[in-house]
Amino acid sequence: MKVLLLAGGPPGEHEVSLSSARGVLAAMPHPTELVVIAKDGRWLLGEDAYEALRAGVAEQGTHPFPPPVPWQHYDVVFPLLHGPLGEDGVIQGFLQLLRRPYVGAGVASSALCMDKDLCKRVLRQAGIPVVPWVTLYKGEPTPQPPFPPPYFVKPANTGSSVGISKVKADQDATRALAEAFAWDDKVLVEQGIEGVRELEVALLGNIHAEASVVGEITYQSEFYDYETKYTEGKAQLHLPAPIPPELSDEIRATALEAYRILGVRGMARVDFFLSPQGELYLNEFNTIPGFTPTSMYPKLWQATGLAYPDLLDRLVRLALER
Ligand code: ATP
Ligand code: MG
Ligand code: MG
Ligand code: MG
């Protein structure tokens, strides 16, 4: 079985993707080749891709899209790309046109899970608790949110906390909105939960998925921002989370119900918030979670008894089974 790993992608989570790819290449129990998408959208093949992996970044690529990749030589493609174009259904649609099996969610599900606004609307409609928010489009007047600060201002379609700010007072909103609108023309202003506990669960499977143990993340920073996520030692991961078994069961069941509703395939990491008052909210779905040395998804499976290489083998097989 030959696997093709796609990594890199646009600025935002480009470096995160390459870091994820290093881990996956080292542990994948099948022959695997790498192709890198540079920040400028052009592709790097062969030795150039590995050079980009070693450098940790590729500003410029060689081949404009569509690149001369011998797609039919590979049994499965693993788009290990985070954020727009890679995690939102775009590359998934291209792989479908090529008739190549690929790891992870399909077109509609990827797009739905990537767009935090649309995803929360679907979850809310299904009765799954989500944190209140308002949606803003670029150029529109900013309404007063129907809840007090702190707010979290988020681009609708990013990950790794890229473009996200915590706003403690109304006068700081302008800067936060400008930052978020630099990444997307749709932005969420979400009610901030003070003293939040962050709980995450990993899902694996196609229509009938399995859930890992629940993990908790703690940190000293203001929130779980980019630097806290990827600087070794800045966040503490607790596996399993020190929570009552009933809460852990509720999280796993809610995540699996949402997985089914959103039509996810392959994998997802689902992020939950627990308020100090004990209210549980589903924060967001990540259909291509990080596989970096500090990433939760593989660690959650490891804590559940599934080693990293076995997890990768399962993901490849799930792609072929769909
Ligand atoms: P990921 O890297 O998990 O894909 P993301 O960029 O999709 O992250 P979120 O998970 O929505 O973004 O938010 C990033 C972090 O910001 C959260 O883990 C949390 O620390 C903080 N945060 C976001 N929304 C809220 C909220 N409503 N209340 C409290 N903290 C929040
Ligand atoms: Mg996310
Ligand atoms: Mg993400
Ligand atoms: Mg998150």
Closest CA to 20 of 223, 298, 311: 298
Q: Measured between alpha carbons, how far apart are the two ends of the chain, in Å?
A: 16
Both 120 and 165 in a single domain?
A: no
* Residues 182 and 74 occupy one common structural domain: no
Q: In the structure, which protein residues have their CB atom closer than 6 angstroms to any atom of ligand 1?
A: 131, 152, 154, 158-161, 164, 190-193, 196, 198, 223-224, 271, 273, 283-284, 286
Tell me, what CATH number does 55's domain have? 3.40.50.20
Same domain, 203 and 316: yes
Q: Quote ipTM for the complex.
A: 0.98
**Is residue 145 assigned to a domain?**
yes
Which residues of the chain register pLDDT less than 70? none
Residue 107 lies in a domain: no
pLDDT attached to residue 25: 97
Are both 116 and 141 inside the same structural domain? no
Question: What pLDDT is recorded for position 33?
Answer: 98
SS3 135: strand
Q: Is 269 among the domain residues?
A: yes
The answer on 290 and 244 residing in a single domain is: yes
Active site includes 51?
Answer: no
**Smallest CA separation from ligand 1 atom 18, residue:** 224
Q: pLDDT tens, 118-136?
A: 999 999 999 999 999 999 9
From 109, 110, 160, 212, the catalytic residue: 160
Q: 249 in a domain, yes or no?
A: yes
Find tokens 């490891």 and name the residue: 302
Write the CATH number for 152. Answer: 3.30.1490.20
Give the residue numbers spanning the domain of 48: 3-102
Q: How far is the CA of 210 from the centre of ligand 1 (A)?
A: 24
pTM over 0.95: yes
Taking alpha carbons only, the member of 267, 286, 310, 229 closest to residue 115 is: 286
Q: Please say which residue of 191, 216, 236 terminates a domain.
A: 191
Do both 237 and 224 map to the same domain?
yes
